[in-house]
Structure 1
Amino acid sequence: MHAVLATDHVFSSHRGRYYDRYCFNEAFFSDYLAAFDRVTVVCRAAPIEDPPEGNALDGERLRFVNVGDRRGAVWQAAAEWLAADAVKQAVAEADAVVARVPSRLGDLAARVAQKQRKPYLIEVFGDPREAFQTRGRGILYRAAALIEARRLRRQARHCAAASYVNRSILPFAYPAKAGVKTETISSIRLSGASIQEPRHYQAAPSPLRLATVASLMPYKRHADLLRAIADARSSGVVCRADFAGDGPERATLERLTAELGLADSVRFRGHLSGSAAVASMLGENDVFALPSATEGLPRAVLEAMSLGMPAIGSDAGGLPELIRKEDTFKVGETASITRLLCSMASDPTRLTEMSTHSIRTARQYTNDLLSPRRVALFENLKQAV
Structure 2
Amino acid sequence: MSLLFIQGGSRWKFDGEGNIYTDSNFNDNVWKRYRKLDDELVVLLRKEQKIYSKKEASEKFNKFDDSKMKYIATPDLYKPWRNAFNLAIRKEIMDTVDHAVKNSDRVIIRSLGNIYTNTALNSALKYDKPFLVEVTGFSRETLWYHSMRGKIVSIYKELQYKRLIKKADYASYVTKEALQKRYSGPKNKLGCSDVELKIDTSALEKRIHKIKNKDAEKFILGTAAFLDVKWKGQKYVIKAIADLKNKGITGIEYQLIGSGTGKKLIRYAKKLGVENEVKVIGALPHSEVWKWYDSIDVYVQPSFSEGLCRSIVEAMSRACPIICSDVGGNYELIEKDFLFQKAKSSEISKLINLLSNNKEVLLKQAERNFKTAKDFDKEVLDRKRNTFYKEWVSNGK
Residue 76 (structure 1) shift:
5.1
* CA pair 307-152 structure 1, distance change in 2 beyond 3 A: same
Q: Is the 8 A contact 1:113 1:120 kept in 2?
A: yes
Q: Is the 8 A contact 1:195 1:359 kept in 2?
A: no
1:163 counterpart residue number: 172
Q: Is the 8 A contact 1:195 1:306 kept in 2?
A: no
Q: Unmatched 5+ residue regions in structure 2?
A: none
Q: Which moved more, 1:342-351 or 1:234-243?
A: 234-243
Q: Which amino acid aligns with 1:294?
A: S
Residue pair 1:282, 1:304 contacting (<8 A) in 2 also:
yes
Of the candidates 14, 39, 42, which is equivalent to residue 40 of structure 1? 42
> How many angstroms does 1:355 deviate by?
0.5
Q: What is the alpha-carbon distance in structure 2 between the residues aligned to residue 88 and residue 260 of structure 1?
A: 49
Percent sequence identity over aligned pairs: 24
2:232 is the counterpart of 1:220: yes
Question: How big is the shift at 1:202?
Answer: 3.0
Secondary structure of the 2:314 match is helix
The answer for the alignment partner of 1:3 in structure 2 is 3
| Structure 1 partner of 2:194 | 187
Does the CA-based 8 Å contact 2:14-2:52 persist in structure 1?
yes
- Which residue is equivalent to 2:58? 52
Provide Cα deviations, 1:157-184, integer angstroms capped at 9, x if missing partner: 111200111123211211124xx21111
Query: Does the C-alpha gap of structure 1 residues 302 and 88 become closer, same or farther in structure 2, counting only changes over 3 Å?
Result: same
Give the AA of the match of 1:57.
Answer: D
Assess if the C-alpha contact under 8 Å between 1:181 and 1:380 holds in 2.
no
Match of 1:360 among 371, 381, 389: 371
Deviates most, 308-317 or 238-247: 238-247
| Preserved CA contact (<8 Å) 2:135 2:179 | yes
Q: 2:159 is aligned with what amino acid?
A: R
Alignment partner, residue 396 of structure 2: 384
The DSSP-based 3-state class of the residue aligned with 1:196 is helix
Higher RCO (CA 8 Å, separation ≥ 6 residues): 1
The code of the aligned residue for 1:19 comes to Y
| 340, 362, 365: which one aligns with 1:329 | 340
Q: Which amino acid aligns with 1:252?
A: K
1:1-385 correspondence runs (5 A): 1-8=1-8, 9-13=10-14, 17-46=19-48, 47-50=51-54, 52=58, 56-60=64-68, 62-72=69-79, 73-74=81-82, 80-102=90-112, 103-136=114-147, 141-177=150-186, 180-193=187-200, 196-198=203-205, 199-200=207-208, 201-202=211-212, 206=216, 207-216=218-227, 217-238=229-250, 239-247=252-260, 250-272=262-284, 274-382=285-393, 383-385=395-397
SS in 1 for 2:26: coil
Inter-CA distance 10–55: structure 2 relative to 1 (3 Å threshold): closer
State the alpha-carbon separation in 2 of the partners of residues 152 and 40 from structure 1.
24
- Cα RMSD (Å): 2.3
State how far apart, in whole Å, the 1-side matches of 2:24 and 2:202 are.
20
With over 3 angstroms needed to count, the CA separation of the structure-2 counterparts of 1:112 and 1:195, relative to structure 1, is farther
Query: Per the alignment, in what secondary structure is the counterpart of residue 24 of structure 1?
Result: coil
Change (3 A) 1:247 1:52: closer
Q: More deviation in 158-167 or 80-89?
A: 80-89
Runs of 4+ in 1 over 6 A off after TM superposition: none
CA distance 1:76–1:24, shift in 2 (3 Å):
farther
8 Å contact kept, 2:133–2:171: yes
Quick check: 331-340 or 295-304, which moved more?
295-304
User: What letter is aligned with 1:181?
Assistant: N
Q: Secondary structure at the match of 1:262?
A: coil
Report the CA distance between 1:308 and its aligned residue.
1.3
Report the secondary structure of 1:158's partner residue: coil
CA shift, 1:49, in A, is 4.1
Query: Is contact 1:101-1:152 (8 Å) kept?
Result: no
